[in-house]
Chain A
């Protein structure tokens, strides 16, 4: 296992020399309710993410993990604090980020291939190259045969894989995944986790993966950011000791079980449930 605990320090692999690719500094987000009250969705969140790192954000509902995502994606501005990407503040959405949502949110009137090339069309990238890359990405997610099909012809898991391919097409530096497997059945979900790790090992994107599943967070990530609710804040950042490449067998090791128990305890203790 590579030594990545402190992203401020140089990481082990030479290819990942850049420190602190994402820097979340004292970020707070306050929403106004209809009745005029205020809800503190995020309070003083600090987080640095290394280039090529896989981060899981784990927390109970209401912990603000779904508030953090739009901020990282540049879709929302925090009430206070800054978010830097590669040293530059994130000012708006753009080509550096790929987002995978909870629902595949494919466009049903487009073929699978044209769903994947969507970002190229929006960003005005060359068409032929985009099609070729889309086909490669479909091969990577195991849907190389399905380019000409329509979303309604695919199962939920396949649709979500198209969503992942779409998010990767424009070669973003950061891949944000907001509970992407939440709507899938348990078996498909595990397989998708494996698939995602394989894709990640091929592409080496920086990934921020939001989930409320302890085992999913542990299985996928280098580090698990455990969040607590009311107000939403970072409770602890847990270093995952499971070696890579990971297989489903890792999930039944005693170490994995202990880590999972620890995280569950953390979640329970911090939320008072």
Chain B
């Protein structure tokens, strides 16, 4: 009896569409990625190089791609210990981004946790948070430089502040997002608050938390560079300002490349962690399809 029942149960939907096993199928499937993206990049660079030549644009206004490339190589070739080295400045900037991102995330999640558990604090702080959230916090950067000095501390403080709010809001939403019936499951087993938190609330909040982290990461990179523009001894933002003062346009472009690579790598790392942790989430699976 039971066998027939199991047999009538609809079969699992196939996880992925069946693919015809054709030779070169992989290449055809990923044609936009393998050929499309490089082709577009090449066309842009070629168009840029052609425009600089054809309209005789001065390199102070717009350097040729080759000039940017040479600047990049020069910056990367310098002794990593010397202040001219891109590595050195990139490292300073990267550590400021990561330091602030880490601190802001931890503080944001900690406060989100407290507020989500204590109703009275939630009611006191939520309106304040909403009010603070709409303040453009980058405006406080000069004050942080007065407080924390020209070094990395002021940048880390600013990034912490900027990361704090989106993570707090996302974390709070995540901790509050638990489906009532799942909570009832834990409740009906007599689970303690701590068990409910670690087994249900925390994992269930991760999709929200990661959305907050992804938003914050981009803000963190922008805030670091802006803070370095204002004042500082090292960092890519500092270097960009110095190059701007001597009209080294190619140098600025080459640093944009460095920032671009750094930002892309950070976003990709975070996306990778998200995918690994949240494979079960509808959003992640939707993005895969």
Contact = CB atoms under 8 A, between A and B. Distances in A.
B187 A195 contact: no
Nearest to A97: B188
Contacts of B12: 153-155
Contacts of B282: 152
Interface string B178-193: 0101101111111100
B190 A105 contact: no
Interface stretch (A22-30, A55-63, A117-125, A225-233): A117-125
Contacts, number: 86
B189 A93 contact: yes
B184 A191 contact: no
Interface string A101-140: 1110101110000000011011100000000000000000
Nearest to B200: A107
A153 B15 contact: yes
A158 B189 contact: no
Given A105-B179, A154-B12, A155-B10, A118 B5 contact: no
A186 to B, nearest CB: 13
B184 A75 contact: yes
Interface residues of B, number: 30
A191 B9 contact: yes
A238 to B, nearest CB: 26
B60 interface: no
A195 B199 contact: no
A194 interface: yes
A107 B186 CA distance: 11
A254 to B, nearest CB: 23
B203 A99 contact: no
A198 interface: yes
B281 A108 contact: yes
Contacts of A194: 1, 5
Contacts of A122: 186, 189-191, 195, 199
Interface string B275-289: 000011110010000
Contacts of A94: 189-190
Contacts of B8: 187, 191
Given A101-B181, A105-B179, A158 B9 contact: yes
B179 to A, nearest CB: 7
A108 B278 CA distance: 10
Contact of B285 (A102, A142, A152, A154): A152
Contacts of A157: 9
Given A93-B187, A108-B281, A118-B185, A195 B2 contact: yes
A268 interface: no
A75 B185 CA distance: 10
A192 B87 CA distance: 64
A105 B199 contact: no
Contacts of B9: 142, 155, 157-158, 188, 191
Given A92-B190, A108-B280, A142-B9, A101 B2 contact: no
Contacts of B204: 107, 109
Interface in B151-181: 179, 181
A172 B229 CA distance: 66
Contact of A103 (B5, B181, B199): B181
B15 A107 contact: no
Nearest to B203: A109
Interface of B: 1-2, 5-6, 8-10, 12, 15, 179, 181-182, 184-191, 195, 199-200, 203-204, 279-282, 285
Given A75-B188, A153-B15, A157-B9, 4 more contacts: A107-B182, A107-B203, A109-B203, A122-B199
24 contacts: A75-B184, A92-B190, A93-B190, A102-B181, A103-B181, A105-B182, A105-B185, A107-B200, A109-B203, A118-B199, A121-B199, A122-B186, A122-B189, A123-B189, A151-B280, A153-B12, A153-B15, A155-B10, A158-B9, A191-B5, A191-B9, A194-B5, A198-B1, A247-B1
